[in-house]
């Protein structure tokens, strides 16, 4: 008998990719939406996700919940107290959902957290045993949700899996990867050749494969896993790989990182500059060993598929 799965955040970047793969398998899928929408799946409208959301209808006869919905990091904040908003949606909203899952007998809860629950910058390699010291409101809210999930599941029949992906890239992602794709496509000189950092990434296809592996694996129960592609890249090397995928040769100027840091601070973009220049390497060996899991796509394959999507998007825009 197939498992009945509820997915939150199913219309988002990761959720869309997850649905495309799940529909090829024998799962009964329900998606929770904020607003009414046409869909090929069974849908339940739950409204905004916070500590007051009612999940009663959405959780009926559900075996597994995959909780992707979250308030993501926003470059231009429109609220006066972003930390409270992150906490209300990502932490309190998750806690409320977990409590209602426990009440109705959901068997397994898969929570998409973030490496930001540990940190966003580090000069040492991060693993599941690293001390959590989140340095953003987003990361703090994710850690609070993680801790509550673990505590609430103690002495209960519901098991959990927490996934901490690194920077996720892939088709339809409006984040930093798309910005780099646009810069490389324009062929403009980029003053990033002097950056000497190392960052772990994860292609969305690899993350989706990890999520699906956790649905049916008993070894995934009550575990926290970091998820990455397994190959770390510097910012200049990432740009070169993007260029190769787009059949372009990026012009990287070897400007010292110290000058870039000063420039970003003068422009009021100090935080973005730190992300651009800093390192964040992870060890994702635990999920590979515990679940015998291997990413189905290499970094180059993930970048190529992302670049192909971008080129097709530009072509359609110019029609």
Residues 91 and 50 sit within 8 Å (Cβ to Cβ): no
Torsions phi, psi of 142, nearest 5? -70, -40
Output the DSSP codes for 274-311: HHHH--B-B--HHHHHHH----SS-HHHHHHHHHHHHH
User: Does residue 138 carry a catalytic annotation?
Assistant: yes
Residues 190 and 250 sit within 8 Å (Cβ to Cβ): yes
At 61 the three-state DSSP class reads: coil
- DSSP element (H, E) containing 169: strand 167-169
Residues 28 and 3 sit within 8 Å (Cβ to Cβ): yes
Q: How far apart are CA 30 and CA 21, in angstroms?
A: 14
Torsions phi, psi of 169, nearest 5? -130, 160
Integer Rg of the chain from CA: 20
- Residue 162 neighbours by CB under 8 Å, 6+ apart: 111, 113, 146, 149, 150, 223, 224, 225
Task: Using DSSP bridges, classify how beta strands 64-67 and 108-112 pair: parallel, antiparallel or unpaired.
Answer: parallel
Catalytic residue among 27, 41, 138, 203: 138
Nearest to 297 by CA among 228, 240, 199: 228
Tokens of 291: 């679940």
Residues annotated as catalytic (active site), given as ranges:
138
């Amino acid at each position: 008998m197939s498992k009945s799965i509820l997915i939150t955040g199913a219309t988002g970047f990761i959720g869309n990719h997850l649905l495309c793969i799940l529909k090829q398998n024998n799962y009964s899928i329900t998606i929770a939406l904020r607003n009414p929408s046409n869909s090929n799946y069974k849908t339940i409208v739950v409204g905004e996700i916070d500590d007051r959301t009612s999940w009663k209808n959405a959780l009926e006869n559900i075996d597994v919940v995959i909780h992707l919905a979250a308030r993501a990091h926003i470059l231009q904040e429109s609220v006066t107290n972003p930390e409270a908003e992150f906490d209300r949606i990502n932490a309190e909203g998750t806690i409320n959902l977990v409590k209602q899952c426990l009440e109705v007998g959901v068997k397994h809860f898969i929570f998409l957290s973030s490496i930001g629950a540990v940190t966003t910058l580090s000069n040492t390699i991060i693993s599941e045993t690293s001390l959590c010291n989140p340095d953003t409101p987003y990361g703090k809210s994710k850690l609070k949700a993680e801790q509550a999930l673990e505590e609430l599941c103690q002495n209960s029949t519901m098991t959990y899996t927490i996934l901490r992906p690194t920077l996720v890239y892939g088709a339809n992602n409006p984040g930093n990867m798309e910005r780099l794709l646009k810069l490389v496509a324009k062929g403009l000189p980029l003053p990033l050749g002097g950056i000497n950092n190392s960052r772990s990434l994860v292609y969305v296809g690899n993350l989706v494969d990890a999520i699906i592996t956790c649905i049916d694996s008993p070894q995934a129960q009550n575990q926290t896993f970091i998820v990455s592609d397994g190959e770390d890249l510097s910012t200049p090397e990432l740009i070169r790989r993007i260029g190769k995928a787009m059949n372009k040769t990026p012009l990287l100027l070897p400007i010292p990182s110290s000058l870039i840091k000063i420039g970003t601070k003068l422009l009021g973009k100090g935080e973005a500059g730190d992300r651009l220049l800093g390192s964040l390497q992870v060890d994702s060996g635990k999920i590979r060993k515990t679940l015998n899991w291997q990413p189905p796509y290499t970094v180059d394959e993930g970048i190529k598929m992302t670049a192909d999507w971008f080129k097709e998007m530009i072509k359609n825009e110019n029609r």
